[in-house]
Amino acid sequence: MSVSDNSAVAAPKAGLTSLPRNVWVVTGTSFLTDISSEMVVNLLPLFLYTVLGAPADVIGLIEGVAETTASLFKVFSGWFSDRLGQRKWLAVAGYFLSTISKPILLLAWPLRSWVVALGARFGDRVGKGVRTAPRDALVADSIDAKQRGLAFGLHRAGDTGGAVLGLVIALAMVWVFQPRDPHIQAGVFQNVVWISLIPAALAVILLAVFTREIPPLTRREAPRFTLSIFDARFKFFLVIMILFTLGNSSDAFLILRANQLQANGLPVLGVLGMMITFNVVYTLLATPAGVLSDKFGRRRLMVAGWLLYGLVYLGFAVLTAGWQAWLLMALYGGYYAMTDGVAKAYVADLVPAEHRGTAYGVFNAAIGITALPASVIAGLLWQWIAQPAPFYFGAAMAALACVLLVFVLPTFAPRRRA
């Protein structure tokens, strides 16, 4: 069976209107979830740094531990969805867990403890770990290979469109309740968390009610939990992603860099405006980038995106004013559009359909586990060397990943499939 064989999926037609319901519902779910998440996540590093007094290396530790914990669950949930032959309810469970973890953040200020914030991020990221691989596999199972880039591009656009709306809501609340304060106030942050629970709950309901399982094409023995089921191309692609991610620390450091430029840094409202610009660019370009990857190849888009990433990180290393950070974040949105959904479509190109859940679990886990050392390294470089140091390191790792993706990965022959 070839990777693209899927008799449960109709022959592809051109355009967005031909995409199946599952793709649209998963996109809507991600849209609502990101409204909720982005209302909070971009204010959280500012809240930790300026209100709770957490230093940069602690913020890096929080982000790294949260992402790494999620990654362990991504591996298991992806494999388990292959074993069950089901994706939907694991994804629903993950979204539900993330939703019920958010109120924990409300205790961080009364207890004056960044450990509470760590607990909330832990629960939220465990939910993400449970849902991500089954959700991505559900999208891949629902679509023909010739429209994978389009489907994943649409999903990323919906996800990021939700981020835009979430940031606009957060900006409006900051504008109303603390228009002149350059730092986030504890009470305003708590109000934002309360409002974020509404779209999070709606996302769970939407996914539970309107998606349907795609039954497996064939009944086979339970899949083994081992990398031996994948060929060398997929394994080396994982190595490349790990190396790139090692220099791709949490975006919290980009936010802190823009905010902490002495007299020329962006205030809270400016930071939110900067992140809105980033997400608007990402939203507008994600679907066209996916279509381009269907026509011209995934690797070309990813190389271009990583080169753009390297330039953006070099820019953050040398910037001297907040408006420069704003411009660089717009370019950063282009990098995300050219790589995020495209990389997920590329995974589906490299592995057989019956192992997609495991593949997405391993892929997301490789990235997420590396997030811990990446964010810790960035925090240490920031704290003990200089603020620009993490960004020079990130640009260097992006350059290395590009070289490997262009010159080494093509030398691995694909495994023959029956």
Annotate 343-376 with DSSP letters as a single string: HHHHHHHHS-GGGHHHHHHHHHHHHHHHHHHHHH
Separation CA 268–CA 184 (nearest Å): 6
In a domain, 339, yes or no: yes
Say if residues 192 and 170 touch (Cβ distance below 8 Å).
yes
Compute CA distances 297 → 45, 146, 279, 404, whole Å. 37, 11, 24, 16
Residues 6+ apart with CB under 8 A from 34: 159, 160, 161, 162, 163, 166
- What pLDDT tens digit does each residue of the chain (418 aa) get? 333 334 344 444 557 777 889 999 999 999 999 999 989 988 888 888 888 888 877 877 777 777 777 777 877 888 888 888 888 999 999 999 999 999 999 998 888 888 888 889 889 988 988 998 899 889 988 888 788 888 888 898 898 889 889 989 988 988 888 766 667 788 888 899 999 999 999 999 999 999 998 876 555 555 565 677 788 899 999 999 999 999 998 888 898 888 877 567 788 888 888 988 998 998 899 889 988 998 888 999 999 999 999 999 999 999 988 889 999 999 999 999 999 889 988 998 898 877 888 888 788 778 877 877 898 899 899 988 998 999 999 999 999 999 999 999 887 766 655 4
Compute CA distances 177 → 181, 182, 188, 190, 391, whole Å. 9, 12, 7, 12, 34
Domain extent for 304? 21-214+229-411
In a domain, 138, yes or no: yes
In a domain, 61, yes or no: yes
Separation CA 107–CA 67 (nearest Å): 21
- Residue 143's nearest CA partner among 323, 300, 20 is 20
Query: How many other β-carbons are positioned within 10 Å of the β-carbon of residue 115?
Result: 12
In a domain, 1, yes or no: no
Say how many residues make up the chain.
418
- Residue 175's nearest CA partner among 267, 256, 255 is 267
The CATH number of the domain holding residue 372 is 1.20.1250.20
Query: How many other β-carbons are positioned within 10 Å of the β-carbon of residue 99?
Result: 22
Number of domains in the chain: 1
In a domain, 9, yes or no: no
Angle value at C-alpha 152, between 237 and 44, nearest 5 degrees: 85
In a domain, 417, yes or no: no
